[in-house]
Amino acid sequence: MKPAPFVHHSPRTLDEAVAMLGDVGHDGKVLAGGQSLIPVLNMRLAQPAHLVDINRVAGLDTVTVSDDVVRVGATVRHASLEKNTEAYAVLPLLRQALRNVAHPAIRNRGTTVGSIAHADAAGEMPSIAVLTGAVIEVVGPAGRREVAAADFFEGPLMTVLEADELVEAVRFGRFAEGTRTAFLESARRHGDYALAGVGVAVDVEGQGGDAVVRGARAAYVSVTDVPVVVDLTEAVAGQPFSSAWDGVEDLVQAGIAPEADIHASSEYRRALAAELTRRALTTALSEVAS
Amino acid sequence: MTTRQFGSPVLRKEDPRLVTGNGRYLDDLGHDAWEAAFVRSPHAHARITDIDVDGAVEVEGVIAVYTHEDLDGPAGDRLPLLIPHPSIEAGRTGYALAKDEVNHVGEAIVMVVARDRYIAEDAAQRIVVSYDHLPPVVGIEKSRDGAELVHDDAPGNVAAHLLQEVGNVEAAMAKAPRTLTLDLEIERSACMPMEGKGVLAQWDSDEQRMRIHSSTQTSTGVRAAVAAKLQLPLAQVECIAPDVGGGFGVKIMHPWPEEVLVPWAARRLNHDVKWTEDRREHFTSSAHERGQLQQVTVGFDDDGRLLALDVKFWHDNGAYLPYGVIVPIITATQLLGPYKPQNYRVEFWSLYTNTVLVTPYRGAGRPQGCFAMERTMDAIAAELGIDRTEVRSRNFIQPEEMPYDQGLLFQDGRPLKYDSGDFPASLAKLKALVGWDDFTVYKEEAEAQGRKVGLGIGCYVEGTGVGPYEGGHVHVETSGRVNVATGLTTQGQGHQTILAQIVADELGVSIDDVHVTTGDTRRMPYAVGTFASRGAVMSGNAVALAARAVRAKALRIAADALEVAEEDLQIEDGTISVKGAPHASIALSTVAVMSNPLRYAFDESAKAATQFAGAFDPDKPPVADDDEPGLEGKDFYSPTQATFANGMHAAIVETDPITAEIKILRYCVIHDCGTVVNPMIVEGQVHGGVAQGVGGALYERMEYDETGQLLNASFMDFLIPYASEVPHIETDHLETPSPLNPLGVKGAGEAGTIPVSAVIASAIEDAEGFPIRSMPISPNELWDLRRHQAANPRSTNPRSSTTQESA
């Protein structure tokens, strides 16, 4: 388990990084946190001739909160975003989801943007990107372009990124005032890739006893090829907070297409996704309810 | 006053070094060694038609590329069948490098030696092996049907077949008022030590001498095997086990192909050569265990008393049989646990499959046997509507029946005769610890809240400390430092501590002065190895006996010097003094000086031992005819049979009514390993064992597909429980000393692992209300069982046949 030979490039500016990536093209890979790439190299499942290591590129390690978005740079570690109180205050879903990303040691090293660019269907953060209506900031030899998260993912481990492009940052959209969120997943072991996971954003109008559910949307982990948003509004609108949310079943089942693997069957993942959705709705509303 | 160390929770002497990163594991050694990598078979069963190494030879930094053709002499012969047994009908072993045929994915075919491992892997990748595919035999059912063969000359894929019977099962079964038949299944798992295997070989061509470091559980075994394979005089081969990062059984197997090949290449190349196993290699090229299908038929009376027990099982031994039939023999014999079956018949078939070897893994066949027996006990209880502990109680061997001979031959070929144990007392302690009698109320309360909880139990007996022997060597230096050596190896058990505790007490010295060496053939060339929970029993007693010899000699010399009788002397804190007259004393270090008459005074203490230092009897030689110089002693402990530890576990689990997720709420252990040397270390052993048992019960399985590919050969997909999956473990001890050895100890190493699958199955069964007959179990599988049960309310489950009542 030693990687095949590669040339390690360590650019200091984004322009340098883009130029190097342009030079090596299909023979190159961007290295950020390395939590997916390095094991793949060690097992020789991929043998790129060049690694463009962006860890020393200036200016990519910042989290910026503005009125509409939380902007996360390409080398921001999961742990750093998870602990960012400003980001949590305006978009709690980030922390709610990040707590489920592997283990602390992996979150200390792995990057949120990297996990989105990697586009693993079992990754938490691609789903959060679509649920928040995120915008992916892409940079390449031809300049910058922006891609909506909904258009970014093409399949498992496949995105619209060209070989000579990298993601500079992701802008997660903030929800409207009154939106309640929760993230739940079930894994075989604590921190493993989930058998199924769900993030929900529930639109609540009013305060205290007068509060009513107006709508809800959910995005899933491990039960869809590419992250999608399932609109649960027709099943939840007007329901009491104490609802068992049984009405969401059909919508969830129509929105997901889980595949079987050695850890769980497709049927079990379906049942799990539906149950997690019901529990996530209850969790999201528990604060309002109390 | 010297504090007694034996029985105290002494902190581990090895920990400051190990936990500060100062351990020296195999890969920490041999920085200048060339490194090996292997081309391994990607196919489960194939004939090799061609090996093209040209591409590898061209790689810059490659030193040598070897195939089977290059192996000269015994190195090219088949690897040994280590433990022959009369039941073996077709004992097949592999070669160090595959010859003509491969029989499992991961079998080594080509060895590449290069300047470093990176280059070796680059080169290995360029080697092209051509194959003719043969039909793979994967899984016990496919092997058992015998339509396709793993080895052409092993008909029916049967490696071994053994039947043992005590009493008359057929007659007793026919008369039994009730019978039940259970079909059971246990999946494959594996040891998975954090450090894989590894070998460093250093050939000294001037001295014609081979030094091997191996991450092994038996350095004497590796030494002897390499000497034989390389045709070297034993005296010219030494083997040292450095710090070993876990073994759990897989490293008692030897010689691994690499343990032959690395020394062979080092001599051929006249250069240090090293190989460090990586995790993928460990999954497909080391060994697994556990996989069995079982059928139990039991006859019993209306009170739940066993009248006859008839067990058949089919054991998957993988592609080869180098370690013989130790695992199935242990299953067959240790299945009986603390019970008296009256009439018992057990028959097993050990079967070849095109999968990696099966050799002992912590528990070594006992978890399977315990599972069979304990599922049977629960089935009887369910059948009769009697409390599960009551059924067990009625079948216990009673303490006054000890020693109790089960009438079978154990894995060492000696009688399965329990030496000690108090099963009713253990059960009483367990019931109190877990709150057995209060559980019904708790369960009703939980059910009222929509929760599903269940209580499970499992009992076992473990034959520990099997022979043939271990040795101890104790040497007191003139500084007062005490060197202790034993030949068995250590993999983190705390041997440095417990052996020092024993010697400190025996000699009357501070534990800080006692320094223990294990697994170094230079220090103790006669040894067997670390397996079968034998470290404390075998080496503990051996070093105690050696220390007693040293003590006797020290007292003899001191008695002479102090002009008193030996029996009037005592040793405390390293000083020998006259009982009741402490001013009349002599330091043990001084006795060490006196024990070795010297010509040369190289330091102040040596001066006291030289020929002109004091009065002597000119008619006597400086060293008496029947004596030896030095204050040292050596002795061996060799028992007539194993000593039998036992334990009982109980667990409370909760299963999610919708997702079927399984959570262990409580886990309780009563453990009897005889006299406890160090309760902290024993608890640690129990905790680690339970953790591995939880892995086997809920997480770990080897997912072979039908072509023999292992689909989960990484820690991402082979699920070892993390700390977050292991419950808090509540323990209590019962000490019934073994009458068989001087210290009264019984083994503790494997105990925690043995009953866990049985206990968790029992608890899930209690929570769910339908039988659990196959382990491990995942949430998905439990969810499937529920659906099957809802559709077929009277059946057991789809992965086993039915429970039947007859007569």
Q: Which of A2, A193, A272 sits opposite B118 (nearest CB)?
A: A2
Q: Return the amino acid letter for A256.
A: I
- In this prediction, residue B807 has a pLDDT band, given cuts at 50, 70 and 90, of very low
Nearest to B239 by CA among B529, B474, B467: B529
CB contact under 8 Å between B717 and A263, yes or no, is yes
- pLDDT at residue B2 is higher than 70: no
Residues of B in contact with A191 (CB under 8 A): 722, 724
Give the minimum alpha-carbon distance from A157 to chain B in angstroms, rounded to a whole number: 17
Average pLDDT over residues B85-91: 96
**Residue B795 confidence (pLDDT):** 64
Task: Report the largest interatomic distance among the alpha carbons of chain B, rounded to a whole angstrom.
Answer: 98
CB contact under 8 Å between B780 and A43, yes or no, is no
CB contact under 8 Å between A190 and B784, yes or no, is no
- In this prediction, residue B598 has a pLDDT band, given cuts at 50, 70 and 90, of confident
- pLDDT at residue A9 is higher than 60: yes
Nearest-Cα residue of chain A relative to residue B38 = A1
Count the residues in chain B: 807
Selected from 3.30.365.10, 3.40.50.2000, 1.10.486.10, 1.10.3080.10, the CATH number assigned to the domain covering B292-466+640-791 reads 3.30.365.10
CB contact under 8 Å between A190 and B780, yes or no, is no
- Assign domain A63-173 to its CATH architecture: 2-Layer Sandwich (3.30)
Mean pLDDT, rounded, of chain B:
95
> Which residues of chain A are at the B interface, by a Cβ-Cβ cutoff of 8 Å?
1-5, 39, 43-44, 186, 188-193, 195, 262-265, 268, 271-272, 275
CATH 3.30.390.50 region(s) of chain A?
A: 179-289
CB contact under 8 Å between A189 and B278, yes or no, is no
CB contact under 8 Å between A44 and B779, yes or no, is no
Q: Which of A4, A43, A193 sits opposite B122 (nearest CB)?
A: A4
Select the more confidently predicted residue: B594 or B351: B351
Average pLDDT over residues B540-559: 96
Average pLDDT over residues B266-276: 98
Same fold, B292-466+640-791 and B467-595+630-637: yes
**Residue A290 confidence (pLDDT):** 52
Residues pairing with B299 in the sheet: B179, B308
Q: What is the CATH number of domain A179-289?
A: 3.30.390.50
Q: Other CB atoms closer than 10 Å to residue B58's CB: what's the count? A: 10
Give the minimum alpha-carbon distance from A1 to chain B in angstroms, rounded to a whole number: 6
Nearest to B215 by CA among B426, B10, B490: B490
Record: fold of A7-53: 3.30.43
Q: Return the amino acid letter for A6.
A: F
Residues pairing with B416 in the sheet: none
Q: Which of B122, B722, B778 sits opposite A190 (nearest CB)?
A: B722
* Rounded Cα–Cα distance for residues B98 and B69 (Å): 10
- pLDDT at residue B798 is higher than 70: no
Q: pLDDT digit string (tens) for B617-641?
A: 888 888 888 899 999 999 999 999 9
Asked if B676 contacts B9 with a C-beta cutoff of 8 angstroms, the reply is: no
Average pLDDT over residues B178-190: 97
Residues of B in contact with A185 (CB under 8 A): none
Give the minimum alpha-carbon distance from B78 to chain A in angstroms, rounded to a whole number: 28
Q: Where are the domains of chain B?
A: 32-134+197-244+251-285, 292-466+640-791, 467-595+630-637
Average pLDDT over residues B769-784: 97
Asked if B538 contacts B637 with a C-beta cutoff of 8 angstroms, the reply is: yes
CB contact under 8 Å between A44 and B125, yes or no, is yes
- Assign domain B32-134+197-244+251-285 to its CATH architecture: Alpha-Beta Complex (3.90)
Q: Which residues contact A177 (CB under 8 A, 6 or more apart)?
A: none
* A and B: number of Cβ contacts within 8 A: 64
* Rounded Cα–Cα distance for residues B67 and B575 (Å): 61
CATH 3.30.43.10 region(s) of chain A?
A: 7-53
CB contact under 8 Å between B659 and A192, yes or no, is no
Average pLDDT over residues A153-178: 96
Average pLDDT over residues B459-473: 95
* Rounded Cα–Cα distance for residues A82 and A84 (Å): 6
Q: pLDDT digit string (tens) for B95-117?
A: 999 999 999 999 999 999 999 99
Q: Which of B118, B699, B703 sits opposite A188 (nearest CB)?
A: B699
**Phi, psi dihedrals of residue B222, rounded to the nearest 5°:** -65, -45
ipTM attached to this prediction:
0.95
Give the minimum alpha-carbon distance from A164 to chain B in angstroms, rounded to a whole number: 27
CB contact under 8 Å between B699 and A189, yes or no, is yes
Q: Return the amino acid letter for B619.
A: D
Residues of A in contact with B118 (CB under 8 A): 2-3, 5
Residues of A in contact with B721 (CB under 8 A): 189
Average pLDDT over residues B108-133: 98
- pLDDT at residue B597 is higher than 90: no
Nearest to B185 by CA among B344, B383, B367: B367
Average pLDDT over residues B258-268: 98
Q: pLDDT digit string (tens) for B682-701?
A: 999 999 999 999 999 999 99
Nearest-Cα residue of chain B relative to residue A262 = B703
- In this prediction, residue A289 has a pLDDT band, given cuts at 50, 70 and 90, of low
Least confident of A208-212, B282-286, B716-720, B744-748: A208-212
CB contact under 8 Å between B778 and A263, yes or no, is yes
Q: Which of B711, B724, B784 sits opposite A262 (nearest CB)?
A: B711
* Rounded Cα–Cα distance for residues A100 and A107 (Å): 10
CB contact under 8 Å between B719 and A271, yes or no, is no
Asked if A158 contacts A119 with a C-beta cutoff of 8 angstroms, the reply is: yes
Asked if B632 contacts B476 with a C-beta cutoff of 8 angstroms, the reply is: yes
Q: Return the amino acid letter for B676.
A: V
Residues of A in contact with B722 (CB under 8 A): 189-191
Average pLDDT over residues A253-273: 96
* Rounded Cα–Cα distance for residues B177 and A17 (Å): 82
Q: What percent of chain B has pLDDT over 70?
A: 98
Q: Which of B279, B699, B719 sits opposite A1 (nearest CB)?
A: B279
Residues of A in contact with B659 (CB under 8 A): 186, 271-272, 275
Q: Which of B722, B780, B783 sits opposite A189 (nearest CB)?
A: B722
**Residue B801 confidence (pLDDT):** 39
Average pLDDT over residues A72-100: 97
**Residue B796 confidence (pLDDT):** 56
Q: Which of B117, B717, B722 sits opposite A262 (nearest CB)?
A: B717
Give the minimum alpha-carbon distance from A272 to chain B in angstroms, rounded to a whole number: 6
Q: Does domain B467-595+630-637 have CATH number 3.40.50.620?
A: no
* Helix, coil or strand: residue B335: coil
